[in-house]
Every structure is written in structure tokens, then in C-alpha cells.
Amino acid sequence: MKGRARTRSSRRFGDVALSLGTGLAAALVLLIVVVILGDVIYNGAPHMTLTFLTQAPRDGMTAGGIFPAIFGTVALVVLMTLAVLPAGVATAIYLSEYANPGSRLTRLVRVAVNNLAGVPSIVFGLFGLGFFVQFVGAGIDRALYGGQRVFGQPALIWAALTMAVLTLPVVIVATEEALAAVPRELRLASAALGASRLQTIARVVLPQALPGILTGAILAISRGAGEVAPILFTGVAYFLPKLPRSLHDQFMQLGYHVYVLSTQSPDVDATRPILYATVLVLLLLTFALNATAVVVRSHMRRRFAGASS
Amino acid sequence: MSEQPSKPQPGRVIPVGLAPSPRQTLPRLGPPPLQPTERKGHGQAERPRLASWRPKFHALAEAAIRVLAFSSIAAVVLIFVFIGKEAWPLFHDSAIWKEVTLAKMWFARQWPGYDAPEHIWQPVSEVPKYAVWPLVVGTLKVTLVAMLVAVPLGVGSALFVSQYAGRRLREIIKPTVELLAGIPSVVLGFFALMVMATWLQQALGLESRLNALVAGVALSFAIIPVVFTVSEEAFGAVPRSYVEASTALGAARWQTIVRVVIPAAGPGVAAGIALGLGRAVGETMIVLMASGNAAILSASPADSVRTVSATIAAELAEVVFGGAHYTVLFFLGALLFAFTLATNLLGEFAIGRMRRRLGGVA
């Protein structure tokens, strides 16, 4: 029959078209990633030497290395982690171990966390300036330094705290996931032995959830290492002759270094190799962190899979 | 073992043998409450304690957990308060009204030296000009380009991964998208500025090297992972029984996908698009580096643009604290914040709706 033949060919055509169309989309996405990474690696690798990693910039950023930017990035994320881990982990513990999931308060916390994750990073920068620098910092100056400007200006500590607020949802979500994956039998066993809830959490649940919490921390660090907008007004500097020595010093940072080199360089051709190598360092740093998170996470999954079977 | 070693699920039932008797006080286990009354006193008094755990420390530690837990609510509230606080003078301060008012920002005005009323953003000049339409239109142009690229690519590849790709392909595509999500936006901006701008200019013969098109395409690279991840999850959440029923009725694969899978996952995909939109409007570094940053009011994507987020990033470092310019920039930040909150809530609503819709079946 004519009708059936047409149906069959249209069926096949539809499947071919849809799989080709969506496959093309996937191929394009792969291509984008390959081209970006390929370009950065091809142009950046030759210039990435030990001296580049360990020296300060020279001759108006056209020579030398990026050590101060690496140092500043590390200092920033270390301080950020110290701030975000306790707050994030405690929020997750509260949500999954204490809170009544139906209560309005719990739902409010959840909505707050979800929305915090969607706030644009530049808004965090505004917040950091308005709250940390102008309000907290200036307040500290009034109280302790007699109005002299010490903390009431952009500084490492304010940039780190701003970044901590930005990465809070990352830690909360990862920790909550990890806590939810701890088998209930363990909690019941602990309770049966007479442990209180806090004892159960501290001695049984948290050690089990540690890899998951670690994953969250690493993802947060990776995010914090790459973001630039939140620190624009809260502490980053274009060039500093010295490394930051105290919490109220300004600092250099890899991402900001990339931004400045690519937009404000007086001699684009002279800085190009340095720029590419800096981008490569930044990418390697964030990818290494992300890869570690993936490894830790899969390790955790295997462990739980083994425990429950 | 009588009970499943399952992951805790919302709404799960307490195993029969372990249901709490009225006299017992069990610690709360995960999400659902065992006993509503058990929340406040933890019954530490009648429970044997390990020597190192003093009750005072207990109470202190639990109080600390509660206090820290509200840090996230506090953060959102503080963001609101402090951005609002810095933008507030725009609403009442007459010293700032001499330069700019809330109403005047939205209308074309006759400036000295111009023939006709115009929208101009030029806050640093002898006569500061704060017309926000060029910025808003610029943001919309860049966002539109980004969404036009990111939605087909993101949803398309999510559909491919969930419906057509074999296991091996899936294990290539998904980590690659994660890799893309892990690229810092400043690197995407750098790539757009150094490489893509030249390619696009040569390919299309554009007048200005940095424009809304370049920025939009680069921006889409940051949006694709968002759209992909949420859509892929949505496609994966469609119950198999839907697909089986459709196949049993004689539908071809593509008919099942177009008529059953996509409509069922629709709200989830919409949520992904909404979240991507919020990200696109708020993203800063990419547009700051690749858009050319000229506040031109036009409809052409080949013109340079200055977006709201890039304006804040570029100008805030050099303004007088508390002045008109500073206040206006915080007001723009508040606008961005409000917009992304709206898109997030929309996305959450869509996801919740999809869960409810599919929840009865799965």
C-alpha cells in the first residue's frame, strides 16, 4: 500500500533527522571545548616554564612571571575555604539532620540557598563592597583604629569573605548530598548504642560523609579560583611590588591578571605569550581541582556501594 | 535483612520494627521527623554520655550549628539590604536628584550640544548623563544572541545524550560539558577577545571587532552547560512507562520523543532555560571583555554594546563613594539581582511542577 510505504519512510526520515540534528548539537559543543582548550594549550604551553611560575612580572608585564598572582590566588582560596566550610557544612547538617523538612523555615533556607546560587557574581562584588568594605571594615576602623583607614578599604580578607558567600551554596549542596548518602543503619546503630544526636553526627555521620564534604570544598575552591567579578572592588590589584603580608593588604590574582593583560596591555603582541601561559595556569589549576573532586566523589560512591551490598 | 539499605528519600516510611514508641526518644534520622515533639529537648539528661561530651558543650555545639545554618538566609537578606542601602539615596536624596532621578534615567533628554533628545549613558563628563536604555538594550541584545546559540545546542545535545547516544558517547559528552562548565568566565572572555573576535570579523566582515555578536556567542559557552545539565536531567526523569506506552501504540522513536518525552520533560527544560537566562543576564567578565563596551543604543548585533553588568564592573572602581554615579551603579546592581531572583524562582517553580506532574507515575 502506498500509505504504509509513506509512513515507513517518514518514520525513518524523522528518526534520522532528529538523531542527526541533536548529534550535531552535541558535536558542536565538543568542538567548542576542543578548540578553546587546544588554542590555550598550543599557545600557552611553550611559555610555561619554572621561572615563569616563580618570578614576579617585569618590564610593565611584558616579561617575568606570575608568581604574585599565583600566591594571591592561593591565599584568597585558602581564606575563603576557612570561612565557607564551617558555615556551609553547618547549614547542611542543620538542613538534613535537625530541621523539620516540612517546616516553613526549612523551605525558606532552601529557597535562600538556591537563589544564592543564581545571584550574578558582579552583585556579590557590590555586596562585598557595600557590606564588608564599607560597613564591617569601616566599622572595625572606627572601633579599633580611631578612624584610620586599615580595614575600611578593599583587602584580601574582604575579597575572601565575598568569595565565601559566593561559594556557600556549592558547599551546602555537596554536603547535604553526602549526608543523605550515609546509610540509615549507621545512625540507627549509633542511636541504639545510646549516642545522642550530636554524638551520632560527630562520630558516625560526619566521618562517613567526609569525602562528599571534601568534594564540595574542592568544587568551591575551583569556583573561587576562577571568579573575577566579585573581587574587582573588594581587594584585587593590577600590580603590587610586594606579596600581601596581612589580611588587610591587597593582592594579585590569576583571573584578574588575565583580564588586565588582555584588555589593558599597552603592547598586545609582547604580552601575548605571557597572557596565554597565565590562562593555561589558571585552567590547569581549576581543572586539577575539578578532577580531584570527581575522583573523590567516585571513590565515595564505590565505598558506599561496597558497604551496602 | 528485612529492610532495604536504600538512600534516604523524602517521604519514606520508618521501618516497622523501628517505629518510635511514645516513650522512646530516638535521635532524628534524616529528613522526615520521627516525632514532632522531639525537636527541642534531645533527652540528653536520661541518656548515658561518653565522658568527653559534656552537656554544656553539646548545647553550645548545637546552637553553633543553628546559628551558622542561618548564615545562608542571612547572606541573601544582607545582599538585599546592603545593595538596597547603597541605592536608596537615588529615591530620596535631593543632592543626587540634581544629577539624576529615577524617572529621568528612562527618558530621552535634550543635552547641551545635541540636536534632538537622546538616550545617552555618559556618567563621567561635564554634564553627567545617565540614560539606562542603552545599557538595558545592550544587555538584551547580548543575552538574546547567547540564548539563540545556547538553547538549541544545550537542549539538542541533552536530547542526544539521553535518547540516542550509546554509553561510550555519553561518557565522552557529559564530562566534556562539565569541563566547559569548569572553564572560568574570564578565560571564555579572553578567548572571545583574542581569538573569536578576529574569526567572526573576518568571516562576516563586521565593522567593529568587539560587538554584541561576539560577546553573545562567547556568553553562550557559559550558558550551554546550565541548559544542558538541567535539560538532560529532565529528559532522564521521564518515566519509562510513558515511552513504553507510546511505543506499544505504534509510535516511531522520534514520534515518541517529540510527542511524549519532550512534552513530559518540558517544564524541566524550561527551568534549564530560565536558569541559563539568569546566568546570561548577570554574567560579567565575558561581556566586559568581548562586547566593546560602547553604550550605543541600536538594534544591530554588529554594534558594540555595554551591558548592565559590564558597566558596574568597569565603572564602580573609579567613582566617588556615595555620589550619584555610585548610587546609580548600585541601583543597576539591584535591578540585576531582582531579575535573576525572578528567573531563579521561575525555574524552581517549573522544576517543582514537573516533579509533581511526573511524581504520580514514577
For residue B268, the distance in angstroms to the closest alpha carbon of chain A comes to 16
In a domain, B188, yes or no: yes
Q: Which of B48, B187, B337 sits opposite A119 (nearest CB)?
A: B337
| Nine cell digits for residue B121 | 549613558
| Nine cell digits for residue B132 | 539606562
Question: Where among A30, A45, A60 does a domain terminate?
Answer: A45
SS3 content of chain A, % helix, strand, coil (to 5): 80, 0, 20
How many CB atoms neighbour CB B138 within 10 A?
A: 30
CATH number at A297 reads: 1.10.3720.10
For residue B120, the distance in angstroms to the closest alpha carbon of chain A comes to 23
How many whole angstroms separate alpha carbon B71 and alpha carbon B67?
7
How many whole angstroms separate alpha carbon B90 and alpha carbon B74?
25
In a domain, B57, yes or no: no
A138 φ, ψ (degrees, to nearest 5): -65, -35
Q: What is the pLDDT of residue A28?
A: 94
Q: What is the pLDDT of residue B362?
A: 41
Tens of pLDDT along B227-278? 999 999 899 888 889 999 999 998 888 889 989 999 988 888 998 999 899 9
CATH number at B172 reads: 1.10.3720.10
Q: What is the pLDDT of residue B12?
A: 43
Say yes or no for a CB contact (<8 Å) between B285 and A228: yes
Restricting to B residues 220-249, those with a Cβ less than 8 Å away from any Cβ of A are 221, 224, 228
What is the residue range of A27's domain?
A: 2-45
How many whole angstroms separate alpha carbon A233 and alpha carbon A230?
7
How many whole angstroms separate alpha carbon A126 and alpha carbon B85?
11
Q: What is the pLDDT of residue A305?
A: 59
In a domain, B328, yes or no: yes
Q: Number of structural domains, chain A?
A: 2
The pLDDT averaged over each successive group of 10 residues in chain A (309 residues) is: 56 84 93 94 88 80 82 91 90 86 81 84 91 88 82 89 92 89 89 88 89 87 90 86 83 91 81 89 89 80 58
Answer whether A229's CB lies under 8 Å from A121's CB: yes
Q: Which amino acid, residue A40?
A: V
The DSSP 8-state label assigned to residue B305 in this structure reads B
Say yes or no for a CB contact (<8 Å) between A135 and B82: yes
Say yes or no for a CB contact (<8 Å) between B76 and A255: no
ipTM of the complex: 0.88
In a domain, B228, yes or no: yes
Say yes or no for a CB contact (<8 Å) between A98 and B28: yes
Q: Which of A117, A134, A197 sits opposite B28 (nearest CB)?
A: A197
Enumerate the residues of chain B whose CB falls inside 8 A of the CB of residue A28.
153, 157
Enumerate the residues of chain B whose CB falls inside 8 A of the CB of residue A282.
184, 186-187
Nearest residue in chain A measured CA to CA from B315: A233
Beta strands in chain A (DSSP E): 57-58, 63-64
- Reported as a pLDDT band with limits 50, 70 and 90, residue B32 is very low
- Reported as a pLDDT band with limits 50, 70 and 90, residue B10 is very low
For residue B4, the distance in angstroms to the closest alpha carbon of chain A comes to 9
Say if residue A153 is in the same domain as residue A263. yes
Say if residue A53 is in the same domain as residue A76. yes
For residue A68, the distance in angstroms to the closest alpha carbon of chain B comes to 18
Say if residue A89 is in the same domain as residue A7. no
Beta strands in chain B (DSSP E): 121-122, 129-130
Say if residue A119 is in the same domain as residue A82. yes
Say if residue A124 is in the same domain as residue A244. yes
B121 φ, ψ (degrees, to nearest 5): -105, 105
- Reported as a pLDDT band with limits 50, 70 and 90, residue B149 is very high
Q: What is the pLDDT of residue B222?
A: 93
How many whole angstroms separate alpha carbon B28 and alpha carbon A95?
12
What is the residue range of B285's domain?
A: 129-359
Select from B187, B273, B316, B341 the residue whose CB has the most chain A CBs within 10 Å, as the one to mutate to test that interface.
B187
Q: What is the pLDDT of residue B37?
A: 43
Q: Which of A97, A112, A226 sits opposite B72 (nearest CB)?
A: A112
How many whole angstroms separate alpha carbon B153 and alpha carbon A288?
27
Say if residue A181 is in the same domain as residue A141. yes
Whether residue B41 is predicted with pLDDT greater than 80 in this model: the reply is no
In a domain, B286, yes or no: yes
Nearest residue in chain A measured CA to CA from B283: A120
Please, which residues bridge with residue B121 across strands? B130
Range A166-194 burial, b when 16+ CB lie within 10 A, else e:
bbbbbbbbbbbbbbbbbbbeebbebbeee
Q: Number of structural domains, chain B?
A: 1
Q: What is the pLDDT of residue B353?
A: 81
Say if residue A214 is in the same domain as residue A245. yes
| Nine cell digits for residue A300 | 565515595
Find the helix or strand (DSSP H, E) in which A58 lies: strand A57-58
Q: What is the pLDDT of residue B53?
A: 52
Nearest residue in chain A measured CA to CA from B312: A122
| Nine cell digits for residue B191 | 578567548
Residue written as cell 543575552? B143
Pairing of strands B121-122, A63-64: unpaired
Q: Which of B30, B82, B284 sits opposite A180 (nearest CB)?
A: B30
Whether residue B5 is predicted with pLDDT greater than 80 in this model: the reply is no
Say if residue A23 is in the same domain as residue A118. no
Select from B7, B21, B71 the residue whose CB has the most chain A CBs within 10 Å, as the one to mutate to test that interface.
B71
How many whole angstroms separate alpha carbon B271 and alpha carbon B287?
24
Restricting to B residues 101-160, those with a Cβ less than 8 Å away from any Cβ of A are 152-157, 159-160
- Greatest alpha-carbon span in chain B: 86
In a domain, B255, yes or no: yes
Say if residue A41 is in the same domain as residue A55. no
Say if residue A239 is in the same domain as residue A144. yes
In a domain, B102, yes or no: no
Q: Which of B26, B157, B163 sits opposite A29 (nearest CB)?
A: B157
Say yes or no for a CB contact (<8 Å) between B62 and A259: no
* Cα end-to-end span (Å), chain B: 26
Tally: H helices and E strands in chain A: 12, 2
**Residue A113, CB half-sphere, CA atoms under 13 Å: how many?**
24
pTM: 0.83
With a pLDDT cut of 70, the percent of chain B lying above it is: 83
